[in-house]
Chain A
Amino acid sequence: MNSQSNLKEVDGSVIVRDTSKHKAESKPFLSKKNLKNAGLFTLFVGPVFLAFTLIVLIPFFTGVYYAFTDWNGVTGAVQWVGLDNFKYLLFEDKQFHASFILTTKYTVVAILLTNLIGFGLALLVTQMLKTSNILRTVFFMPNLLGGLLLGFIWQFIFVKGFASIGELTGIPLFELAWLGDASTAFWGIVIVSVWQGAGYIMIIYIAALQNVPQELIEAARIDGANRWQVLRHITMPLVAPAVTICLFLTTASSFKIFDANLSLTNGGPFKSTEMLALNIYTEAFVNNRYGIGEAKALIFFLIVAAISVLQVTISKKREVES
């Protein structure tokens, strides 16, 4: 491996020829060339790796340690408490259980709706409409705004806009106090995230749909397949890889929802819409129970990691099959 790579290396190709001649006799580790290469390597990779270590790696591993302590973030005294934090989370912390179930429920609903609507929009705008380009822009636009601004926009829509539409049309759905009730507030968050995410997912599905060979579809039509059959038996299987990508993209982003949750409901009414990320945040920075917050964050990490590993495994498998 090493001798091969020596030849491939770009640096000082003249020298490379030189050393390859002497390779058999001696290959000192601290040769001038090796040192120079190591220096260059450090110069190129070092700065970002240093920042990455400082900002990501060290906090991550100290975080894992803190999950087993009673750290409160204020006093210097940090006591090792073993699995106490996890026992507390498992058996006592009802709010954590509620957040966990809520986040799971929300993730499932958000994945389904975002992908269905995103795929539907992609089908719509690839229909040779005169307004296709403008519509693409319109459907995508909410995605530009961060979750925080979106939550505030919709706070106004739910509080004032819906009330006004309800008054004008008399449709009872709009006359509800959407954010004042646990179940409608939940759907409020779903609406906001679908409004934001569908356009993003649409872009990926459009790219996939455009790769479906037009001749295949035309041939099937000539053979007498109707639109639904074409969609079901030709288009869908061909865009399946994009579906996998989108499913996992939406799973990860839904599971980690924080900004829109904070700005739209702030977990209310009465913590009934507090998702996991917000629950961790509150535990650490409002209740100042850093140890327990870290234990939650560790569980959170394990779930997200499991989802990502599953994603990589499945897409790798797909690549091999196709």
Chain B
Amino acid sequence: MGHKYTGRTFIVEILAIALGLVFLVPFYYVISNSLKPFAEILTNTSALPKVFQFENYVQAFEKLDYLNVFTNSLIITVTSNIVLVIFCSMAAYMLVRTKKKISHVIFMTFVAAMIIPFQSIMIPLVKTAGNFGLLNSIWGLVIMYLGFGSGMTIFLYHGFIKGIPVELEEAAIIDGCTRFGVFWRIVFPLLKPITVTIVILNSLWIWNDFLLPSLVLQDPELRTIPLATFFFFGQYTKQWDLALAALVLGIIPLLIFFFSMQKHIIKGITSGSIK
């Protein structure tokens, strides 16, 4: 691998940095303009703000009901992840270890359903969900994420569990451990790497999801960040000062998540995509 840093590499480096800056330009525009008063956004869009003022943020924070929508997003994402991890790891484990035809049929149903696009389900879903009282409730939404996320989550767990030798579990059973205990005390801890991948992939999906919550949560009190941003943009069209601050408030949690979990995220994406 020992390569010299040649003049050519230097030129490539300059080009790459320039490209990186181009990628960052949209962020620059949004963040710098979110700190300007409205008039300055119109007259001086490209320049840095003359004075950094956070008035837009104070207003957007209040009008978005940010604390509330942030909490909603957090509760929905965390609960859905917990539910998905618990029930899908259990199911995948049983499907791998029970070598019966029914396991294969159930597993294939989960996998095959992964190709159904959300648009093909959403219309009757709203009706079914209404019948079962799942509309306008965070719990209802969590159950839906369990349903929609189950395909990929079980698929990833299934592939991983197949690689775990069964002897460990047999030994534990001889020692008098129940099947339930075997799974939670011995198998589940071994699943940690794939659990991290799964949690990251599902978190990004659920946190950013717009269409499903927009159909399920009609009560403004229950809105998530993407929903609140959407309605805010609709209400304050062309009021860029507030809209941009709201946008940055929507981006910040994702950036914090990313920078604290960067390594895992990149790894998760790589292993999650190569199915």
Question: Interface centre among B98, B120, B210, B270, by most A CB within 10 Å?
Answer: B120
Give the complex CA separation of A146 and B213 in angstroms: 14
Q: Are A152 and B269 also in contact (CB < 8 A) when A138-B23, A168-B46, A258-B211 are? A: no
Q: Is the interface of B mostly helix, strand, loop or mixed?
A: helix
Give the complex CA separation of A312 and B147 in angstroms: 23
- A257-273 Cβ-contact flags toward B at 8 Å (1 or 0): 01100110000000000
Cβ of B233 within 8 Å of any chain A Cβ, yes or no, is: yes
Give the complex CA separation of A136 and B121 in angstroms: 36
Q: Is A52 in contact with B147, judged by CB distance below 8 angstroms?
A: yes
Whose C-beta in chain B lies nearest to the C-beta of A200? Answer: B269
Q: Are A144 and B258 also in contact (CB < 8 A) when A9-B98, A127-B12, A214-B1 are? A: yes
Interface contacts (Cβ under 8 Å), in number, total 281
Q: Is A165 in contact with B128, judged by CB distance below 8 angstroms?
A: no
Q: Is B99 in contact with A293, judged by CB distance below 8 angstroms?
A: no
Cβ of B59 within 8 Å of any chain A Cβ, yes or no, is: no
Q: Which residues of B contact A9 (CB under 8 A)?
A: 97-99
Whose C-beta in chain B lies nearest to the C-beta of A154? Answer: B26
Q: Is A48 in contact with B88, judged by CB distance below 8 angstroms?
A: yes
Q: Is the interface of A mostly helix, strand, loop or mixed?
A: helix
Stretch in contact with the other chain, from B48-56, B62-70, B110-118, B188-196: B110-118
Cβ of B94 within 8 Å of any chain A Cβ, yes or no, is: yes
Q: Is B124 in contact with A294, judged by CB distance below 8 angstroms?
A: yes
Tell me how far the C-beta of A125 lies from the nearest C-beta in chain B, rounded to whole angstroms: 7
Q: Is B120 in contact with A300, judged by CB distance below 8 angstroms?
A: yes
Tell me how far the C-beta of B175 lies from the nearest C-beta in chain A, rounded to whole angstroms: 11
Tell me how far the C-beta of B132 lies from the nearest C-beta in chain A, rounded to whole angstroms: 7
A18-56 with Cβ < 8 A to chain B:
37, 40-41, 44-45, 47-49, 51-52, 54-56
Which B residues are within 8 Å of any A CB, using their own CB? 1, 3, 5, 9, 12-13, 15-17, 19-20, 23-27, 29-30, 33, 41-42, 44-46, 87-88, 90-91, 93-95, 97-102, 106, 109-110, 113, 115-125, 127-129, 132, 143-144, 146-148, 150-151, 154, 166, 169-170, 173-174, 179-180, 182-183, 204, 207-211, 215, 226, 229-230, 233, 240, 243-244, 247, 250-251, 254-255, 257-258, 262, 266, 269-270, 273-274
Which A residues are within 8 Å of any B CB, using their own CB? 1-2, 4-5, 8-14, 37, 40-41, 44-45, 47-49, 51-52, 54-60, 62-63, 66, 73, 121, 124-125, 127-131, 134-142, 144-149, 152-154, 156-157, 160-161, 163-165, 168, 195, 200, 203-204, 207, 214, 242, 245, 249, 256, 258-259, 262-263, 276-277, 280-281, 284-285, 290, 293-294, 297-298, 300-301, 304-305, 308-309
